[in-house]
Amino acid sequence: MRIDIWSDYVCPFCYIGSTRLMKALEETGLKEGAEITYRSFQLDPDAKAGESGPYYRSLAEKYGISDEEAKSRIRQVAMMASRDGLNFTEELFHVSTFDAHRLGHLARKTGSGTKFTEAMYRSYFVDGLDISSKDVLLSIAGEAGLPHDEAMEVLEGSEYSYEVKKDQKDARDYGISGVPFFVVDGKYALSGAQSPESFRKALERARDGKLG
Domains of the chain: 2-207 (3.40.30.10)
Pairing relationship of beta strands 181-184 and 2-7 according to DSSP bridges? antiparallel
Helix (H) or strand (E) holding 175: none
Question: How many angstroms separate the CA atoms of 203 and 102, rounded?
Answer: 29
**What pLDDT is recorded for position 6?**
98
Residue type, 39: R
* Model pTM score: 0.93
**What pLDDT is recorded for position 65?**
97
Question: How many angstroms separate the CA atoms of 155 and 139, rounded?
Answer: 12
Question: How many angstroms separate the CA atoms of 115 and 52, rounded?
Answer: 25
Neighbours of 62 (CB within 10 A): 12
Helix (H) or strand (E) holding 162: helix 161-174
Helix (H) or strand (E) holding 167: helix 161-174
**Within the chain, what is the greatest distance between any pair of CA atoms?**
48
Q: What tens-digit pLDDT sequence spans the chain (212 residues)?
A: 999 999 999 999 999 999 999 999 999 999 988 999 999 999 999 988 777 889 999 999 999 999 999 999 999 999 999 999 999 999 999 999 999 999 999 999 999 999 999 999 999 999 999 999 999 999 999 999 999 999 999 999 999 999 999 999 999 998 999 999 999 998 889 999 999 899 999 899 888 876 55
CA angle, 153 then 135 then 13, to 5°: 100
Provide the 8-state DSSP code for 48.
P
Please name every residue paired with 181 in a beta bridge, in sequence order, or none if there are none. 6, 191
**What pLDDT is recorded for position 41?**
98
**What pLDDT is recorded for position 210?**
61
**What pLDDT is recorded for position 160?**
98
Question: How many angstroms separate the CA atoms of 83 and 36, rounded?
Answer: 24
SS3 184: strand
**What pLDDT is recorded for position 211?**
53
C-alpha to C-alpha distances, 54 to 89, 99, 106, nearest whole angstrom: 12, 19, 28
